Amino acid sequence: MKLLSAFLLPLIAFCVIYPSPSVAHGERAQMPQLRMRTVHWIDVQASTAKLSVNEIVKISGKFMPSKYWPHHVDSIEETAFLNIGVPGPSFVRLDSRVNGVPMIRSTSFRKGEVYDFEITMKARKVGRYHVHTVINVAGAGPMIGPGIWVEVTGDEAAFVNTVETLLGETIDLETYGLGNVMAWSALWFAVGLAWFVYWLTKCPIVVPRFKRAQELGAEADQMITTMDRRMGGIFLVLTLSLIVGGYVYAQERWPITTPLQTGKIDVPPLDQPPTPIAIKLIEARYRIPGRSFRMEFDVVNDSDRPVTIGEFAAGNLRFINADVLDVKPRDEHDLVASDALRVEGAPVAAGATQRVVIYADDAMWETERMTTMISSPDAVVAGVLSFFDDAGERHLVEFGGPMIPDFGMVRR
């Protein structure tokens, strides 16, 4: 009790009085290492930001499972599922594909490989939603992609969700089988209730009866009357008949059924040439007072064109080099810093190896709570660099390594 009043009550009071600001649905709460070192989401976009009920929105882009996947997090190379995270059943997913393969079932993805995805959804409920891509990893949980605001207007009552079955029958998925579900639930509830009510008519009931049975010990069977045995028999026969009868009826009524598919499906990687650029991280430093990330690399350019860095992406934040790329945030919530990447030592000439230093400076590190990585016992960071050659060809290269915090103190 003393512990309660000394620690818990002030803590509870603090939480009640000082609630943290709510942001969409908690994407900033995910640990920075999980955001930076699990799945890199690249160029995620929605086909529209505003649509009416029954209209289609497609979410597409690329993702790359990180080669720096934390050891304590279950691997994406085991079992994973591509999904969309939105509050409530506000959309229905009509189709989702990775490298063209339908993603109805779970799969696994290889670390370091780039995958193309597209998810097709139909708007169901009116509202404004932060639509996130998500890869659910078995044992590890959801790896959340960037959120895109999508607004749905129109008339919910007009929502149509029909499909044609393999037997050519058109059914409405909003109501299909609902009557059966309700009838069976009501029936079993009634059977359970009747059984309970029967025992309530007996004296003594519940706890006094339990105590009585304890007192009687081996003699407790005496408490059960012939009537009780008869009722028990009736309920047993009734329950078994309902189960068997229900099964026989369902077999007669729907002779052809297929079970839900739970097997895994393989996604072959895209057929693409290996990237001609290799990088080695020399040092990554995060300067806390300046909200500035400084990274130093050795870049080996094996291609026959000079390359420079146009974008640095980490943990769903995008830092753009305005000299190379023109990418503007789609709205004030988009995590794009249009002119926040400074590159020194580039372009890297064809065939050359050069030391390149990049600075990603933006308050997003702070506002998106990425800075909590400095208090992690596993301060390893990872990100993706977009290299562009002088013909506009893009090469995605991942890097990772330990990060050293810089507290801005004068070193002695």
Contact footprint for Cu ion (CB under 5 A): 24-25, 27, 130, 147
Nearer to Cu ion, 23 or 265 (CB): 23
Coarse DSSP helix, strand, coil percentages of the chain, rounded to the nearest 5 percent: 25, 35, 40
Nearer to Cu ion, 208 or 329 (CB): 329
Q: Which residue in the shown chain puts its C-beta closest to Cu ion?
A: 24
Nearer to Cu ion, 62 or 130 (CB): 130
Nearest approach, Cβ of 93 to Cu ion (angstroms)? 17
Nearer to Cu ion, 25 or 395 (CB): 25
| Amino acid at position 39, single letter | V
Residue 315 makes CB contacts below 8 A (sequence gap 6+) with 32, 35, 36, 368, 370, 383
Nearest approach, Cβ of 381 to Cu ion (angstroms)? 22
Nearer to Cu ion, 130 or 342 (CB): 130
Nearer to Cu ion, 308 or 316 (CB): 316
CB-CB neighbours of 225 under 10 Å: 10
Give the separation between CA 261 and CA 264, rounded to whole angstroms. 9
Nearer to Cu ion, 130 or 264 (CB): 130
Residue by residue, DSSP assigns 307-333 as EEEEEEEETTEEEE-TTT-----SSTT
Single out the residue of 116, 180, 108 nearest to residue 139, CA to CA: 108
Indicate the Cα dihedral angle 15, 20, 26, 31, nearest 10°: -80
Nearest approach, Cβ of 148 to Cu ion (angstroms)? 9
Strands (E), 139-273: 141-153, 162-164, 170-172
Nearest approach, Cβ of 338 to Cu ion (angstroms)? 21
How far, in Å, are 51, 65, 145, 319, 322 from residue 328 at the CA level? 22, 25, 19, 11, 10
Nearest approach, Cβ of 341 to Cu ion (angstroms)? 24
Nearest approach, Cβ of 334 to Cu ion (angstroms)? 12
Give the separation between CA 351 and CA 327, rounded to whole angstroms. 29
Nearest approach, Cβ of 146 to Cu ion (angstroms)? 9
| Amino acid at position 52, single letter | S
